[in-house]
Structure formats: C-alpha cells, structure tokens
Amino acid sequence: MPTYDFECEPCAYHIEMVQRHDAPQTHTCPICEQETLKKIYINAPSIIIRGEPTTVAQQAERNTAKMGNYELETKRANDKLNTELSKKQRETRERHRAIVSMTPEQQTHWVKTGERPSV
C-alpha cells in the first residue's frame, strides 16, 4: 500500500500514513482533535512502464525511431525553436543578474545613458 503525507493546517501537525488509495482523504488530528488532518502531495507520483521499454526516455526513443521523415523534420524544427527560446531566456537571465549586481548609481547611469558601467 502507498504511503501518504497528512497535515493539519490549524496546528501544523504532520504525519505519514500507509493506506489504500480509496481510503478517506481526511482524518481526525491527534493534537487538536478536529477533522482537519488532510492528505497532501509533497512528491509527484512516479510512473512505471512495464514491458519492453523500462523508462519513459526509452519509450520516447522508440517512438522517435518509428517516426517518418516529415514527422522527424517537424520534431527537429520544434526542438530547434525550443533551444532558441532557451537562449533568449538565458540572455534575459544574465541581463537581470547584471542589473541586480549593480549599485544604485550604476543602475541610474545605465538607464540614463544605455551603457553598461565598467566594473
């Protein structure tokens, strides 16, 4: 049977319980004695694929190997687009880090002149 985390909001009591998946979602809290002990999900449930492929990555590789030329071209174009987006995100992140690391005077200089101050 799976182990679930339960938490009581009013008193912040936390416990792990082993129970069936169709068991009640709430229980009586042993500390405050109210029906406020609720099931919470801290970790995402894991997925197990049985059969020939043993992981999701293996399933994806198998599906990619079975694709036709047009499907592969579309997939590669989408992958390239996602890579370009991540480059833009990296540039934005670097710019924000540079701004945050500046003193207020350097930030003012950059806004007024458009030039990055020398470090």
Q: Residue 31's CB: how many other CB atoms inside 10 A?
A: 13
The two structure tokens encoding residue 46: 């894991």
> What is the arithmetic mean of pLDDT over 73-102?
80
Is 106 within a domain?
yes
Stretch (H or E) spanning 77 = helix 69-101
User: Residue 51: is its pLDDT beyond 70?
Assistant: no
pTM for the full predicted model = 0.36
Kindly state whether residues 65 and 93 are assigned to the same domain: yes
Q: Average pLDDT of 51-78?
A: 79
pLDDT score at 43 = 64
Partners of 39 in the β-ladder: 6
Q: Average pLDDT, stretch 31-56? A: 75
Could you tell me if residue 48 is inside a domain? no
pLDDT value of residue 22 = 84
CB 1 within 8 A of CB 9: no
Tell me which DSSP letter residue 39 carries.
E
**Domain co-membership, 63 together with 97:** yes
Q: Count of domains in the chain? A: 2
Residue 117 resides in a domain? no
Question: With 80 as the cut, is the pLDDT of residue 107 above it?
Answer: yes
Distance CA 37, CA 54 (A): 37
Say yes or no to pLDDT of 85 above 70. no
What pLDDT does residue 90 have?
80
| Structural domain boundaries, residue 66 | 56-110
Task: Return mean pLDDT, the chain.
Answer: 81
35 and 66 in a single domain? The answer is: no
